[in-house]
Amino acid sequence: MIPVYRPFLGKKEKEYVLEAVESSWISSKGKFLNLFEEKFAEYVEAKYGVATCNGTTSLHLTLLALDIGNGDEVIVPTFTYIASVNAISYVGAKPVFVDSNPDCWNIEPSLIEKKITPKTRAIMVVHLYGHPADMDPILKIAEKHNLAVIEDAAESHGALYKGRKVGTIGTIGSFSFFGNKVITTGEGGMVVTNDKELAERCDHFKGQGVSSKKTYWHDVIGYNYRMTNIEAAIGLAQLEKIKETLKLKRKIAEEYTKRLKDIPGIKCQGEEKWAKNVFWMYSILVPPSERDALMFYLKENDIETRPFFYPAHILPPYKEKRGKYPNAELLGASGINLPSFPELTTEEIETITGKIKEFFQRK
Ligand SMILES: *Cc1c(COP(=O)(O)O)cnc(C)c1O
């Protein structure tokens, strides 16, 4: 079976984990945690990084830090991974959905303004599948209406919007280091920001809301959202080779696009003029009537794939009428993530694309 994803681990990860274990600093303090926060923040061009136990908790912290809660509204694309939307619900705020752009698959800026009400506090932008969202018009709207901009960059480590790293273009950003993300710590996440006060608030909420001046004095309802030093050890090793990882991912994308772009019915993942895509998951769109059959065909041929996310407004907790977000619904029904792990070989890509061609020629 060719899997959709496999972490890209090497000697360094082992070496650092061993060092963490031998030092006995295996819990949520230690050298690797400090280094990973510092170096990752530096990599995404942020002043502060706050490591967490996963990318959902780091999103939750961004909302807590911004003091968003009951009665507030947060604008978010309906076409996203469910964690973006759930984090908004965790603080008691209401997710307000916006449709997607059919080309870059991210939130459509021109549809945001009509969703703003006096209760709106923030726009949560999600940079999906490695491709940045179009930030400039979003920043402009946010400024006009005095809204925070949260970036969910869980799928886009290192992606560039007009030359700037995503995650630090808005007010506050969040990354995930789950096993299949661009870099991984097993489970993990990080909040990044240039705002010292927001970073301190994230730290505070992440560590049970304990006062920095008085032991066991908890001045807010906090959480235990800490990352361990062992996880950070893996993260640091991963970060040290992120350039190589991204190079491999671009090469994989080129090899796929070269072989798939001329097949009628297939639309390959692209790259806007203003964007540098990191191709987290190489993805294609096919006619919805063919999608599941193609995935099944590939599975029969030992090739694992994933369908795109269901838009949140289709899922039971957030159910709204169908048809209000046509682009998101079409994307959700058309998309397939192909195997995209960094060590995927050109021969494997040849096999996968060969089977896709075969599928479309069978009929
Ligand atoms: C993976 C992901 C998250 C959540 O990250 P976890 O580390 O799995 O909690 C959030 N948003 C998006 C868009 C993601 O892809």
Question: Which parts of the chain have pLDDT scores under 70?
Answer: 363
Tokens describing residue 80: 């996203």
Q: Give the pLDDT confidence of 282-305 residue by residue, as tens digits.
A: 999 999 999 999 999 999 999 999
Residue 263's identity, in one-letter code, is: I
Mean pLDDT of the chain: 97
135 touches 115 (CB < 8 A): no
Q: What pLDDT does 270 receive?
A: 87
Q: What pLDDT does 216 receive?
A: 96
Query: How far apart are alpha carbons 217 and 120 in whole angstroms?
Result: 33
Q: What pLDDT does 30 receive?
A: 97
Residues 6 or more apart whose Cβ sits within 8 Å of residue 300: none
Cα–ligand 1 centroid distance for 117 (angstroms)? 27
Residue given tokens 């995927």 in the structure block: 344
Residue 251, Cβ density class (10 Å: 0-12 exposed, 13-18 middle, ≥19 buried): middle
Tokens describing residue 338: 């192909």
Q: Give the pLDDT confidence of 227-236 residue by residue, as tens digits.
A: 999 999 999 9
The verdict on pTM exceeding 0.85 is yes
- Alpha helices, DSSP H only, in the chain? 11-23, 31-43, 55-65, 82-90, 135-145, 196-206, 229-240, 242-260, 288-300, 326-334, 346-362
The answer, yes or no, to whether any atom of ligand 1 lies below 6 A from the CB of 176, is yes
Q: What pLDDT does 363 receive?
A: 66
Query: How far apart are alpha carbons 255 and 277 in whole angstroms?
Result: 15
88 touches 95 (CB < 8 A): yes
| Residue among 60, 155, 166, 231 to mutate when testing ligand 1 (max atoms within 8 A of CB) | 155
